[in-house]
Structure 1
């Protein structure tokens, strides 16, 4: 029996949906959501849970579009390396689901819109966003990437904070330190888990080169440092039992996972530590701050 051809509407709908999904996937939705969550929760903490609704929506949208656009631009810059790695060759740019020109225009438009919103909020918010964007785009896949990434990942926190409180306070400093310590731990555990994949792709920077023995112990030290920062946040930020219990618990779990990885550095233990760093740790810590304020009244 002859096969039936798809209906014209269905034949047009499938590629259109795939194309639309490619525009979303190039923005790294999971990473974008985590960065946006950090910014949204920071805005709530900075205002004592009482932000102006209109200003909160503007700041929240700026953080969302800026994080998405920056993630997309790094995807554009990294597409050559991504194409050589098994873990990332299925991403939309290496797979050819979206052209580089379209991706550049799309992501640049998002970041430009976000910076315009940040300027409308406060010049400090604009400056923070511009600095974070610049740090995310330069010196990709070099020794400086991890340090610049610590600055760029602070962008959502800085933009959201300065949108409501254009001042530097101890709480602002601790939030920044939390993110700055988190970035190398998050990145190094991923690189240790997929070391051979990175090396085959031509990426040979710390901790892939001579740092594979010391890096797991550095990761453990960073995890301990994060736990200390969580304690300082609870004290200086005046957070209560909910924050202390939840953030302390995930901090201890992260320390335990990194301790096991340091004692027995295997890809399986590295990927377990990596997965704990994202939503289980950073997501919980940022969510717990406004929730603690709300419950504590």
Structure 2
């Protein structure tokens, strides 16, 4: 297989998204290091790591296959492997289904030897992204971003389950923060590339309403996420270290969100987008590290 083909398949799984989801999966591990590093749990954590990689990568590749017609119309996506003709559609379909099949096999192993929870989370994540978002909602309704939100929470819940053998209120809240982050991240992309989405006929909110309303909506969602990030502290799951660090991070979020609100032209939208990408990962890591070393010390 030629090198450019290998690179094309690597690009097909959207490696930046895979890395982000793996980070969301890994963060809860830090909340319970003693159990996570036990010999038995390391096996399941490795199983989960491979499962997240193959399920997210496979779902992304299947998304590229299903959206190859509109990817060709958008400047942001027209250089993906399928629009460029570097991979044949049937090969991309086979590749994506192979990855998803492997992930399903791993979830069956976890179901038979540990719990059905990993299998349930795998199905929820893939079904929300592929069926509800890509097939049903993306081309029909501006509510499409909410249909994919649970897929962002599933890696967090899977990591928390493997760290604690259950999903308590703390873990559930962290997953919901990831779910809330999803619409913000996608709407900023849609605002920046609104001409792309309009050309492809994708009814994202920034395409359907006037720019002032879409900017205000993005700003409000950003502020809701900032406020929601304090929930773990006020419920007693985190302490002062978490409070101080997320406040510093949230000051950056508020600063860039206000700049975007006051002047949505130029690069302010792009700067806010670049901040939202690592924002949720940093929030999760701060929460789990603080929980491990201050609220739940060894």
TM-based fold match above 0.5: yes
- Aligned pair partner of 2:69 in 50, 74, 80: 80
Are the equivalent residues in 2 in contact too, given 1:41–1:290 (CA < 8 A)?
yes
1:66 to 2:52 alignment: no
* Aligned mates of 2:123, 2:93 — CA distance in 1: 17
In structure 1, the residue matched to 2:90 is 101
Alignment of 1:218 onto 2:217: yes
Partner of 1:19: 5
Q: Distance in 1 between matches of 2:163 and 2:106?
A: 13
Q: Which moved more, 1:49-58 or 1:128-137?
A: 49-58
Closer/same/farther in 2, CA of residues 87 and 267 from structure 1, 3 Å limit = farther
> Aligned residue pairs: how many?
281
How far 1:135 sits from its partner (Å)? 1.1
How far residue 132 of structure 1 moved from its aligned partner, in angstroms, is 1.3
What is the CA distance between 1:231 and its match in structure 2? Answer: 1.1
SS in 2 for 1:265: coil
Rounded to whole Å, the distance in 2 between the matches of 1:213 and 1:177 is 28
What secondary structure, in the 3-state scheme, does the structure 1 residue paired with 2:82 have? coil
Q: 1:63 to 1:236 in 2, by over 3 A?
A: farther
What do the CA deviations read for 1:62-82 (whole angstroms, capped 9, x no partner)?
Answer: 122212111221122222111
Aligned to 2:231: 232
Find the residue that maps to 1:182 and give its secondary structure: helix
Q: Name the structure 1 match of 2:121.
A: 128
Q: Please name the residue that 2:286 is paired with.
A: 288
User: Normalising by the residue count of structure 2, what TM-score does the alignment of the two structures yield?
Assistant: 0.86
1:111-165: per-residue Cα shift (whole Å, max 9, x none)?
2222222233221221121011011112233324201110122221233333454
Structure-2 separation of matches of 1:72 and 1:21: 13
Query: Based on CA coordinates, which of the two structures has the bigger radius of gyration?
Result: 1
Q: What is the CA–CA distance in structure 2 between the aligned matches of 1:191 and 1:63, rounded to whole Å?
A: 26
1:88/1:166 CA distance change after superposition, 3 Å? same
Distance 1:71 1:247, change over 3 A: farther
Q: Write the distance in 2 (CA, Å) between the matches of 1:157 and 1:234.
A: 18
Does 2:44 correspond to 1:55?
A: yes
Worse-matched range after superposition: 84-93 or 224-233: 224-233
Which of 28, 45, 55 lines up with 1:42 in the alignment? 28
1:218/1:163 CA distance change after superposition, 3 Å:
same
Q: Quote how far apart the aligned CAs of 1:21 are.
A: 1.0
Q: Is the 8 A contact 1:193 1:267 kept in 2?
A: no
Cα deviation for residue 168 of structure 1 reads 4.2
Q: Which whole-Å CA distance do the structure 1 matches of 2:45 and 2:273 have between them?
A: 31
* Structure 2 equivalent of residue 200 of structure 1: 199
Would you say the 8 A contact 2:174–2:284 is kept in 1? no
**CA RMSD in angstroms, aligned pairs only:** 2.1
Task: Look up the SS of the partner of 1:214 in the other structure.
Answer: helix
Aligned twin of 1:248: 247
Contact kept? 2:52, 2:103, Cα under 8 Å: yes
Taking structure 1 as reference, are residues 237 and 129 closer, same or farther at Cα in structure 2, changes over 3 Å only? farther
What SS does the aligned partner of 2:227 have? helix
